[in-house]
Amino acid sequence: MRTVHYNPPNWLISLNCYLFIAMTSVSILQSTIFLRNFTLIVGALIGVYLIYKNHRNFSIRNTLPLLALALLFLWVLIHYFFFAGDPAAQFKEFSSVWKRVFLSFLFAIGLGLSTPDASKANKILIGIGFAATVIVFYFRQIFAMLGLDALTPFFSLNYFDPGLAGYVPKYYFSIFVIPFIALLYCYLVDILIGKYRHRLLLILITLLSLVGSLYIFYVVNNKNGILYFLVISMGFLLYLIKTKRNRITPKIYLIIFSILLAISPLIYLHIKSQPMWANFISEAKPAFDFKNNDHWKLSSDKGFPLSALGNPMNGTTYLRLAWAVKGSELLLENPLGYGLVINSFGPLAKRKWPDSNLNHAHSGWIDVGLALGIPGLGLILYSLLGTALICARKNSFFAKAGAWVLLSMALVFISAEVAERILLDYLIFLIAFFSATSINSD
């Protein structure tokens, strides 16, 4: 029989929700480290309290993904004492990267445990937390239109020049916007097959939110973000047709067509402005010809080889694919990892190729593997996929949405750079949040 879990007071759940909104609102912005650390610390303290109050509801079976993450922290300590490639740099990461990851872990568990008991208002707040990056993006656009973006780096729009205030790397949006998109699709499925008041209005708001999220990727020229959006969209359509076909009415087909119609102009304009998609095959071939091409060792300092068609290329496709192959090669040769979340690829590459000048493999899973070794990578993937599997069997919205969000993140981290200041934090946060949500759901 299921143990009756602790029902936290509504004000405590609300506080946790507001902390989540604050955290996701400022995570990708400069000059906000104090506010972000404050939310993590307070959220972690609440998380410890809620873990203690719910401990009787834990079992080995329903906490295996969380236990895997706990073992990850243990493995990081073991790695430092016995396998560290650079002990001084790895120790420094304990007070920065791993401090934030651990606080995110505790914060997420507390928020997840209280989500099933949250009021409708608090569940809306959690949804706003997932949408916060999108909301802040458009607020910053409005401030720029009003000429107020020079007041503070918080409102400064800068997605392309690291040397200027307000710089936000475009791939940060992949990590923080894709979970919101996955959540929107899960919500859209609920609306299409469920009974909601103001159904058409909710569908319209959801579709506008999807288009608005895609537009962000278009504005910041995030090619991977647009690709992720298309893959998730196709997954949604296939899921809807395969599992809900008996409940699909002509009106729903019209809505699906409207989705495709709404996103097609942005997709067309993006593909038209990016010749790399048309030249992908010809630019990919030199990436696997390591005998004749070693330009990848020096990033772009040596220039790039000619494409398979004999034309100059921009190099993005060549470098990413070459680094993925060589990063995987280094991982197999160093199965225990180097130890640094921030740049293990560079030192390991330097050992094997002394003339190389590299930093990230630019693939999240490869970077994690090179940092934490196959044991660390395995623990994260087990917790992510295990949580997604558990969530897929649940009925409550946020637990069910976990499968969509986490599988989307698994996709994103194939080509997103995890070796950055807040990206690994958010991945662990999402895994822990949805794992904890599934414990007290249904």
Query: What radius of gyration, in Å, describes the C-alpha atoms of the chain?
Result: 22
Provide the β-strand partners of residue 328. none
What single-letter amino acid sits at 51?
A: I
Provide the β-strand partners of residue 158. 167
pLDDT, residue 395, reads 84
| Tokens found for residue 230 | 């298309």
Task: Render pLDDT for 284-327 as a digit per residue (tens, 0 to 9).
Answer: 777 787 887 777 887 666 667 766 666 667 677 788 888 899 99
> Are the beta carbons of 435 and 383 closer than 8 angstroms?
yes
pLDDT at 23 over 80: yes
Provide the β-strand partners of residue 167. 158
pLDDT, residue 1, reads 41
Whole-angstrom Cα distance, residue 215 to residue 238?
23
Distance (Å) of CA 363 to CA 345, 358, 383, 387: 10, 13, 19, 22
Q: What is the residue-wise DSSP string for 159-200?
A: SS-TTSTTB--HHHHHHHHHHHHHHHHHHHHHHHHS--TTHH
Enclosing H/E stretch for 392: helix 364-392
| Tokens found for residue 414 | 């194939």
Task: Render pLDDT for 240-255 as a digit per residue (tens, 0 to 9).
Answer: 777 766 666 676 667 6
**Sign of the Cα pseudo-torsion (187, 18, 434, 365, in order):** positive
Distance (Å) of CA 215 to CA 167, 187, 219, 405: 19, 20, 6, 20
Task: Render pLDDT for 255-293 as a digit per residue (tens, 0 to 9).
Answer: 667 767 767 776 666 666 666 665 667 677 777 878 877
More confident site: 195 or 143 = 143
pLDDT, residue 310, reads 67
Q: Which of the four pLDDT bands, split at 50, 70 and 90, describes residue 5?
A: low
pLDDT at 52 over 50: yes
> Are the beta carbons of 306 and 57 closer than 8 angstroms?
no
Q: Which of the four pLDDT bands, split at 50, 70 and 90, describes residue 416?
A: confident
pLDDT, residue 246, reads 67
C-alpha angle 115-119-122 in degrees, rounded to nearest 5: 70
Mean pLDDT of 5-10: 82
pLDDT, residue 257, reads 72
Residue with token string 């906000």? 32
Mean pLDDT of 15-27: 94
Percentage of the residues of the chain whose pLDDT score is greater than 70? 86
> Are the beta carbons of 213 and 180 closer than 8 angstroms?
yes
Q: Looking at 84-169, list the stretches that DSSP marks H as alpha helix, in order from N- to C-terminal side.
A: 87-94, 97-114, 120-145
